[in-house]
Amino acid sequence: MSAPALTGALAEHPALSQWVAFPAPGKVTIFSGKVEIGQGVLTAMVQLAAEELDVAAERIAIEAGDTDLTPNEGFTAGSQSMQFGGVALRQACAEVRAAFLRHAAQKLGCDAGELTVADGRILRQGNATGADYWTLAAEVSLAAKATGAAPRKPASDYTVVGQNAARLDLPAKVFGAPAFIHDLKLDGMWHARVVRQPRRGASIAAIDEAAIRRAARGGINFVRHGNFLAIVGSDETAVEAAAIAAEAHVTWAGVEPLNPLQQQAASLLQQPSIDRTVGPPPAEARGAAHHEATYSRGYLAHASIAPSCGLAEFRDGHLTVWTHAQGPFPLRANLAQTLGLDAQNISVRHVQGPGCYGHNGADDAAADAAIIALQMPGKPIRVRWRREEEFCFEPVSSAMVVKVRAALDDAGRPTDWTAEIWSGTHSARPGSGNLLGAQALPSPPPEPAPHDVPDVAAGGAVRNGTPLYDIPAKRFIHHLVPETPVRTSALRGLGAMPNVFAIECFIDELAERAGQDPVAYRLSITSDRRARAVIEKAAAMAGWTPGLAAGSGRGRGIGVARYKDRAAYAAVVVELEAEEAIRLTRMWCAADAGLVVNPDGAINQLEGGMIQSASWVLKEQVQLATTGIASRDWETYPVLRFSEVPEISVELIASDSDVPLGVGEATAGPTAAAIGNAVAHALGARIRDLPLTRERIMAALLAGG
Amino acid sequence: MAQFDLTVNGRAVSVTVANEETSLLTVLRNELDLVGARFGCGLEQCGCCMVLIDGAPTKSCAKPIWSVAGKSVTTVEGLGTPERPHPLQRALLDEQAGQCGYCLSGIIISAKALLDRNPAPTRAEIASALDDNICRCGSHNRILRAVERAAAAQRQGAAPGEAP
């Protein structure tokens, strides 16, 4: 019998020593290329390792996202850490356990099948053998490669996986200990701020250094490399004051003004686009009934709670970079290219940062620090972006327009479905885009050719662009708009949120046309067993009863999706009150996330996704001015506050799958759709453009009334 | 150079700064090695930097150091330790109330100020008291439950931490 093929990161890094070490008696270290971005991944990884090694979780330390220490697992993104990173680590641990048991069996002159492990101690038919991982560690070479043949523990034997585990990183955060990259202090460190190039191609015309020094009220230095200008010094207050003053005292040439009207998603329709169609050719029955509707969403900021931070030191020809970016290895590759260094001469270390929901300014802040450090060998440099800098210069999530058209049968069910999707790219991460600071350097790298996340990776704009319902013919038309007014990249779910919003609002419109209840209608066109289960469960949790009249000012709605068509299923029901403004009163979610490693952690992520999505839908839109992004702070870019968050219930549906499915992005689309449908139900009029501002509500009421 | 004397977490400290407009937050983090109060915006909008000044919850990121001379400042580090957690810290851990956790220091301070003036707040009163603090990850409900739990624990006479 041949061993199952190794897949993913374990195939690329088969040496067991890249995943597991026994550094001291009673201690285990595991290594993961996936990083903590606020989602609790480290805790879940430790649970997986504890289970498969049969070692108490307390003995396990984890190293994550360090180019010198850990496997290269690309980006921590796309709700894939458990599904791929976790599965790789789990198999590596099973292989380690098997290697020790083989060796112990040989020593003991018994069959490996007689041996088990209990908290690292090797037992023979339940009795102590005196051997354990640590006494045998010197004899078992972990340089051996994984084969895929080692048996994993059956899920029925799990005692750690599937149990709630307290987050390992939470105590430091509750007691105010150093926990974040912002808290990192290097000996002799200088603070730095970058005077941002307002637009790609802009050049410095004049610097009023004297005025900036006066504003600093303390010692500062200028570091200039092409059109990359930074202010550095030992006194953070002086450096910050200088950076603020520099906005008025550095003059730039070649700054093309923006057209603020481009903040409207509809402006995408006027832009040139690269078009493609995926799916069967249209075969709509002549004379069949049709329904068509167009939905949109504006540009969104990640708006992490703190601005990005990066540290770097260039010493003896070696560059060390500390970052909270999602991909230490891809960042290293891009830094090597940008700085003209060999990747071997760069170490990138992940340090936790503020909650990360996609490609924010973290990579760019690290690059800023690296560029400055190279100009000042031997001097550790800490760059912390200003709040305004993060809002104005982080990549944002593209606005999107989604037009859905369906042919309907006599019962009002869709027989032919087309989603037409307009969007900028959702992919400008290191490797597919440029680091911000690099564009100001003397020979800026060329702009990458227009592209988006490939369909094999679930797409960017087209992510979740196809409904999970039973429809004989489904297709999408993708209009990739290469020129957006501001840089766009990945935000939690990428295109999934606008697409699921459009699909699921459209389905409600079809249900209404057919005179059917939204839940019953969905079930009538869904054969996917797992999708049906989450719909039924969420409806039951919410006490869904058909036939509530629309237009009463109170509404409820449902939305459902399987994220990326391959990760977790989630159905969300929202109850709200809508008059001039919208007040969320309750939200419920049922999710099927396959094998759940840490149920409490998964629920936390699902709930967080619901709240963030609610914030996007009700409040958020990046504002543009001729000078750039105008929503520069929390007053001009408001997010949901404590008083606005409704009570939420989340339940996980027990699954027979042994594959954990990512949950971080699973609720964003269903929540947006459920709110859209609930608002339509409450008002008796539908709003198809996000965010659901007061102006749009009033307009809908006037049009409907 | 200017020198200011103040009390931080019950300890008398004297700080020397080049610029008297230096924020309290910068002094705490860069001079006193107290990094519990976090930098979030520098604009007094997000609450990550919340501290108590003479018992009143105050954003420290734009509070000039000269304005707190002679005053008593309490940061999250002054409330409790892993060995002797403040009821709020214990409750946040019990409820697993956090995702990235960046906002929690400020939220703990705002919640402490609330419980000091209102030992039995309603859920709505807690939410209202925390509206000055932004949580971006969506841990709101867990945090609200934790504050309720801490309030109940305090009312039942659970030993407080080293709170002043």
The complex's ipTM? 0.96
**Among the residues of A225-320, which ranges form H helices?**
236-249
Q: Are residues B94 and B144 in the same domain?
A: yes
Type of residue numbered B25: L
- Interface with chain B: mutation pick from A181, A356, A642, highest number of B CBs within 10 Å: A642
Residue A286 confidence (pLDDT): 66
Same domain, B115 and B132: yes
CATH numbers and ranges of domains, chain A: 8-152 (3.30.365.10), 187-255+302-393 (3.30.365.10), 400-426+461-704 (3.30.365.10)
Q: How many CB atoms lie within 10 A of CB A532?
A: 16
Per the domain annotation, does B160 fall within a domain?
A: no
Is the Cβ of A356 closer than 8 Å to some Cβ of chain B?
Answer: yes
Give A-chain residues touching B125 at CB under 8 angstroms. none
Residue A120 CA, distance from chain mean position: 35
Q: What is the pLDDT of residues A28-83, one digit of tens each?
A: 999 999 999 988 999 999 999 999 999 999 999 999 999 999 999 999 887 788 88
CA distance A631 to chain B (A): 14
Whether the pLDDT of residue B163 is over 70: the answer is no
Which pLDDT belongs to residue B95? 98
Instruction: Assign A7 a pLDDT band (cuts: 50, 70, 90).
Output: confident
pLDDT score recorded for residue A705? 53
The predicted-structure confidence for A348-404, as pLDDT tens digits, reads as follows 999 999 999 999 999 999 999 999 999 999 999 999 999 999 999 999 999 999 999
Q: If residue A456 lies in a helix (H) or strand (E), which one and from where to where?
A: none
Q: Which pTM was predicted?
A: 0.96
Beta-bridged to residue A61, according to DSSP, are A29
Please count the other Cβ atoms lying within 10 Å of the Cβ belonging to residue A661. 25
- Using one digit for the tens of pLDDT, what is the confidence trace for A637-663? 999 999 999 999 999 998 878 888 889
Same domain, B99 and B72: no
Please indicate if any CB of chain A lies within 8 Å of the CB of B30: yes
Chain A interface includes B145 (CB < 8 A): no
Average pLDDT over residues A162-183: 97
Pairing verdict, β A318-323 and A309-315: antiparallel
- Residues 378-437 of chain A whose Cβ lies under 8 A from any Cβ of chain B: 384, 386-387
Judged by CB atoms closer than 8 Å, whether chains meet at A645 and B102 is answered as: no
Which residues does residue A572 pair with via DSSP β-bridges, in sequence order?
A559, A589
* Confidence band, pLDDT 50/70/90 cuts, at residue A285: low
Last residue of a domain, one of B78, B108, B127: B78
A contact residues 547-606, partner B, Cβ 8 Å cutoff: 600-601, 604-605
- pLDDT of A415 > 90? The answer is yes
Query: In this complex, is the C-beta atom of A177 within 8 Å of any C-beta atom belonging to chain B?
Result: yes
**Which residues, 6 or more positions from A636, have their beta carbon under 8 angstroms from its beta carbon?**
A623, A630
Residue where a domain stops, chosen among B58, B78, B98: B78
Residue from the list B45, B136, B138 with its beta carbon closest to the beta carbon of A633: B45
Report pLDDT digits (tens) over A658-691.
888 889 999 999 999 999 999 999 999 999 999 9
Q: Are A353 and A181 in contact (CB under 8 A)?
A: yes
pLDDT at residue A1 greater than cutoff 80? no
What is the reported pLDDT for B164?
Answer: 37
In CATH, what number is assigned to the domain containing residue B143? 1.10.150.120
CB contacts under 8 A, A 225-244 vs B, are: 235-238, 240-241
Nearest CA in chain A to B107: A174
**Percent of chain A having pLDDT more than 70?**
99
B 51-70 near A (Cβ less than 8 A): none
The answer to whether the beta carbons of residues B9 and B74 sit under 8 Å apart is yes
CA–CA gap between residue A564 and residue A459 (Å, rounded)? 8
Residues from chain B that touch A171, judged by Cβ atoms under 8 A, are 82, 93
Check which CATH number belongs to the domain holding B22 and give it. 3.10.20.30
Q: Looking at the domain assignment, is residue B19 inside a domain?
A: yes
Given a cut of 90, whether residue B157 has pLDDT beyond it is no
* Helix/strand/coil percent split, chain B, to 5: 35, 15, 45
CB-closest option in A170, A305, A307 to B134? A305
pLDDT digits (tens, 9 = 90+) for A239-267: 999 999 999 999 999 999 999 999 999 99
Between A and B, how many CB-CB pairs are < 8 A? 178
Nearest to A39 among B75, B99, B128 (CB): B99
**Is B69 in the same domain as B116?**
no
Domain count, chain B: 2
Quick one: B22 and B60 in the same domain? yes
Residue A340 in tokens:
């003209």
What residue numbers bound the domain in which B120 lies? 87-155
Of the candidates B55, B78, B101, which is a domain's last residue? B78
